[in-house]
Structure 1
Amino acid sequence: MLLLLDEDHKSDLQLLDRLGLDVLADFVRISIEFLKNGVNKSKLTAAANKLKVEPDVVTKLVEGLMFLLAESSKLMLSEVDFHDSVMTLGVSEEICGEIVRAYLENRAAIRLVLQELSLHPVQYHDLEWRLNVKLASRSLQGQLTPNVLMRLHTTQGASKDSQLLECDIPNLVNLTNSLDDALQESKSQYTRRILRNIK
């Protein structure tokens, strides 16, 4: 499987062929550091001054390398697939070999960084419920006031949480109707098309 890069990413990485192997190794190292710690503008400015190019060009190059390494690590591209993907950029075999070497050495570390940066949404785990009915009070005989008491258990990553909720029957009916409408909307063609494009 090849990683398909659009024209913007290819143009961002055009400077690769003008770099020497030692400078390229520095840029790959900087890209991996930026994935872990965020972008450092002073390093980018220093690299731009050293190469005698605009800082924007160096920024785009580093961001392009970050994207190339991150997407390839996310898809777990093999060495051959990654090599072929880099060759579509039109770089020399030496440059391609250096990028492939850096990718293979850092793939596991990049995947760990991406895993730490990914969102961990709250997920449903369990629901306990009880129906409380107040039959009468001292001031009002023959009263009937039902309430539903619920304990909602959720997980987020490794942590677990629980919430205690109480609602009356009309609000519970309204809640179930709203959730049913949302479930039906998630099954619609339009929603499925959007989810397919997001993946």
Structure 2
Amino acid sequence: MLLSLNSDHKEHLSLLTKQPVEVLVDFCKLAINLIQSGPEIKLYKAAAQKLEVELTVIQNCVYGLVNLLLQFCKYNLNESDFRDSVLTIGFSSEQQVILNKFYQSKKKEIIEILEKLEVNDVHYNNLEWRFEVEVSSRSLLHRADPIVAMNLNLKRPHNTDGFPTVDSIFLQTDPTNLVHIAKELENCLQQSRSRHFRRIQKGLCNNNN
């Protein structure tokens, strides 16, 4: 099987195809750091200064390399298909040797990550809620505490039998805390629409569809 990349992915990797093997080794290390602990912005800036390119070029290059590794592991390419795919992208034979060592050394770890992502891929299914008020207690006769009760259903694609399941989670909170949670979720939503997040998503998701 010959791995085919789209034009954006090839463009992100084009910088590496023009670099010596020492630079490619450094980018392989950045790619592993991204997978294990997140982006190293200071190292990206140092690489951008060294290669005299914009920071976004370095970021896209690292994300593209991670995506390339994910694709290799996803399709479990053999040595022959791996070599042909890498050479077709534009890497030299010497660079192909470096990438193959990189692939073989991290293949097991990446496959385990992919399997965990597939197993734990949980999605929102439904939310039911009701508003409750505790009007009094033995110690406080004139107390009125509002409570929001929620039943959150999360759908899991596969269980141990291979069939989808729905997990129900019961939650209770007061209105003030609920407003705070809503604001935090709104902030997360805004960040998910940012250019930086889209670059990460574009680098890590399957761009071949």
Instruction: Name the TM-score class by shorter chain.
Output: 0.5 to 0.7
Aligned to 1:79: 79
Question: After TM superposition, what 4+ stretches of structure 1 lie above 6 angstroms from structure 2?
Answer: 157-163
8 Å CA contact retained: 2:119, 2:158: no
| Bigger Cα Rg | 1
Whichever residue aligns with residue 79 of structure 1, its letter is: E
Aligned to 1:102: 102
The Cα RMSD (Å) is: 3.1
Alignment length (residue pairs): 136
8 Å CA contact retained: 1:32, 1:110: no
Q: Runs of 5+ in structure 1 lacking a partner?
A: 123-153, 164-197
Aligned to 2:69: 69
Higher relative contact order (CA 8 A, sep 6+): 2
Shift of 1:36: 2.2
Aligned to 1:5: 5
Whichever residue aligns with residue 96 of structure 1, its letter is: Q
Aligned to 2:89: 89
Note closer, same or farther for the CA distance 1:121–1:5 as it changes in structure 2 (3 Å cut). closer
Shift of 1:161: 6.6
Shift of 1:115: 2.5
36-45 vs 71-80, greater mean Cα deviation: 36-45
8 Å CA contact retained: 1:4, 1:85: yes
Q: Compute the TM-score of the two structures, normalised by the length of structure 1.
A: 0.59
Q: Runs of 5+ in structure 2 lacking a partner?
A: 123-153, 160-165, 170-207
Note closer, same or farther for the CA distance 1:158–1:5 as it changes in structure 2 (3 Å cut). closer
What are the superposed Cα offsets for residues 70-119 of structure 1, whole Å, 9 maximum, x if unpaired?
Answer: 11101111111111111111221111111112111111111122223335
Shift of 1:42: 2.0
Instruction: Write the distance in 1 (CA, Å) between the matches of 2:15 and 2:68.
Output: 14
SS across alignment from 2:80: helix
Q: Compute the TM-score of the two structures, normalised by the length of structure 2.
A: 0.56
Identity %: 36
Instruction: Write the distance in 1 (CA, Å) between the matches of 2:2 and 2:33.
Output: 25
Aligned to 2:118: 118
SS across alignment from 1:2: coil
Instruction: Write the distance in 2 (CA, Å) between the matches of 1:6 and 1:162.
Output: 40
Note closer, same or farther for the CA distance 1:45–1:162 as it changes in structure 2 (3 Å cut). closer
50-59 vs 113-122, greater mean Cα deviation: 113-122
